[in-house]
């Protein structure tokens, strides 16, 4: 019998990127800014949009920057459709964020050249954290944050339906919390929110120092968003979130030298992100990238858990100074379990086992499968059915490869 989820409305995030860009383009077309939206079903009421208005030249992204591999430059443009115009009217708009320079009070700043039109980005409320995480650390070639010294104005759209104080607080938090990614702003004014939320956020975004807990929360939220998309089978969207989490984490580890909360957190985050990227790429049959991600995850695990210097002692040798393959696997799994416990299970033994198993899939190595299952079995914290997802991933991958090989055979027979 079909479940309720089988009849769930189509999520905007599940659409291909090309289709989403077309919808963004339609939303920001000239006609939609002057007349009523002719296609109300294009944006269902379940989809809430945020408008970001960039009125500062510092935020312009030049075409040449997209090909650079400079780690100091982090482009924040993801699944957005930008448009330069005077203004835009968006159905189901929940919040608008303006970024630019405030003119001095009482004085009109004379410009040598006419000010260019601002450009607008429309983004789903669910994607706002992803976009602002990149925008907050977007840098020039000299390493200066491009939002440094800018002012921000945030306008929240009031809801038509009545809501309790508790619901209002929850709604505001979902919309405003991603703004906490900002730092180094000159000022921020918020309209339409409670006084406590306005005061707290306005103070935080003007601080000249990154908050460790905020960085930790953002990386965690991006990984979770990727996991949610993965669970729905939206692997392209999942890759976007995992890649953003990876770039965001690398930025703070390399540039800001952030320890986040615990000294082991940077390595633990890199392990987890690469582990999820590998799993996602395997589901897409992208084995080349999956191999690299798996190797990065295992290198991070070895660095953190110190499996190369285990406290369980050296491998037990027999009278001939040898060791059976099965006994060596058991010793390896015990080393991994011991290393995971040293740092409070920031990297769990069963997760390291997953990395070995992913590598076995991408490299067709039986040994990795045995260690992967063994880590799941020997871990003190793993559930009893921990090996099941690995075996199911194996089966799905082999079925896809079998279908692919069968198609190749048909093509070969046709050519003959």
**pLDDT of 410 strictly over 60:** no
Instruction: Decide if 367 contacts 360 (C-beta within 8 A).
Output: yes
Instruction: Decide if 77 contacts 122 (C-beta within 8 A).
Output: no
Summary count for the chain: helices (H), strands (E):
13, 6
Q: How far apart are CA 58 and CA 276, in angstroms?
A: 34
pLDDT digit string, tens, across residues 348-369 = 888 888 888 898 888 776 667 7
The b-or-e profile of 21-38 (16+ CB within 10 A means b, else e) is: eebbebbbeeebbeeebe
**pLDDT of 347 strictly over 60:** yes
The model carries a pTM of 0.77
Which range of 29-43, 72-86, 281-295, 321-335 scores highest in mean pLDDT? It is 281-295
Of the candidate ranges 47-51, 132-136, 193-197, 378-382, the one whose mean pLDDT is the lowest: 378-382
């Amino acid at each position: 019998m079909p479940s309720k989820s089988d009849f769930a409305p189509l999520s905007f995030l599940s659409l291909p990127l090309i289709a989403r860009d077309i919808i963004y383009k339609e939303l920001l077309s000239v006609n939609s800014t002057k007349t009523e939206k002719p296609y109300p079903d294009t944006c269902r009421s379940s989809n809430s949009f945020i408008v970001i208005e960039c009125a500062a030249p510092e935020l312009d992204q030049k075409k040449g920057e997209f090909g650079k591999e400079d780690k100091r430059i982090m482009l924040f443009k993801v699944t957005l459709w930008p448009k330069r115009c005077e203004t835009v009217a968006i159905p189901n708009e929940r919040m608008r964020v303006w970024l630019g320079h405030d003119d001095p009070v009482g004085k009109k700043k004379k410009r040598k050249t006419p000010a260019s039109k601002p450009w607008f980005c429309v983004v789903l409320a669910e994607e706002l954290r992803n976009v602002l995480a990149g925008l907050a650390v977007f840098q020039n070639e000299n390493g200066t944050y491009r939002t440094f010294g800018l002012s921000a104005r945030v306008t929240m759209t009031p809801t038509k339906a009545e809501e309790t104080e508790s619901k209002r607080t929850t709604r505001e938090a979902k919309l405003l919390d991603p703004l906490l990614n900002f730092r180094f702003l000159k000022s921020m004014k918020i309209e339409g929110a409670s006084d406590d939320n306005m005061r707290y956020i306005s103070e935080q975004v003007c601080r000249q120092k990154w908050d460790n807990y905020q960085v930790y929360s953002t990386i965690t939220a991006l990984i979770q968003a990727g996991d949610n998309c993965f669970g729905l089978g939206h692997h392209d969207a999942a890759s976007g979130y995992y890649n953003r989490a990876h770039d965001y984490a690398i930025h703070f580890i390399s540039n800001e030298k952030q320890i986040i909360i615990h000294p082991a957190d940077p390595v633990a985050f890199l392990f987890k992100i690469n582990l999820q990227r590998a799993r996602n790429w395997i589901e897409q049959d992208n084995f080349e990238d999956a191999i690299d991600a798996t190797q990065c995850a295992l290198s991070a695990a070895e660095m953190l858990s110190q499996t190369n210097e285990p406290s369980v002692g050296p491998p037990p040798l027999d009278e001939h100074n040898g060791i059976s393959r099965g006994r060596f696997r058991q010793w390896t799994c015990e080393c991994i379990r011991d290393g995971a416990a040293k740092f409070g299970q920031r990297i769990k033994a069963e997760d390291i086992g997953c990395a070995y198993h992913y590598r076995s899939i991408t490299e067709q190595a039986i040994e990795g499968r045995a260690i992967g299952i063994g880590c799941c079995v020997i871990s003190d914290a793993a559930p009893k059915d921990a090996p099941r997802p690995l075996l199911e991933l194996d089966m799905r991958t082999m079925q896809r490869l079998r279908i692919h090989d069968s198609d190749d055979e048909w093509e070969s027979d046709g050519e003959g």
